[in-house]
């Protein structure tokens, strides 16, 4: 289920990026200088569709992200690295026996 949701999120992200890149700039800037003056009234329905598609895809992305967060598989097994660290902390350090130096017989 989680893998399916992740794949669906990736597909929605790619489609959302494509829809955003297709849209014309409304704020002017550099893109306004290159617009054709004949496309004033004929593109309005396309712009409305792309704007609605952007909102729908953004909402779908948010909902899918929340559902994927809920569906993350939780591991019930103990992490071997964690158990090794806690096991080594429970052990007392080895006591080194005092070295008994014996003089060498001459």
Q: Which residue has the higher pLDDT, 32 or 13?
A: 13
36 pLDDT higher than 60: no
Distance CA 61, CA 66 (A): 9
Question: How high does pLDDT run on average in the chain?
Answer: 74
**pLDDT in the model for residue 47:** 76
Instruction: Give, in order, the Cα–Cα distances in Å from 4 to each of 1, 67, 96.
Output: 5, 11, 57
Phi, psi of 100 (to 5 degrees): -100, 105
* Distance from the Cα of residue 67 to its chain's centroid: 14
Phi, psi of 67 (to 5 degrees): -65, -40
């Amino acid at each position: 289920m989680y893998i399916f949701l992740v794949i669906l999120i990736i597909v929605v992200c790619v489609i959302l990026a494509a829809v955003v890149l297709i849209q014309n700039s409304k704020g002017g800037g550099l893109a306004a200088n290159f617009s054709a003056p004949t496309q004033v009234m004929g593109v309005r329905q396309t712009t409305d569709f792309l704007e609605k598609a952007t909102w729908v895809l953004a909402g779908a992305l948010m909902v899918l992200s929340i559902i994927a967060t809920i569906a993350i598989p939780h591991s019930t097994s103990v992490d071997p690295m964690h158990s090794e660290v806690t096991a080594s902390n429970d052990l007392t350090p080895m006591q080194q026996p005092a070295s008994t130096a014996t003089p060498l017989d001459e």
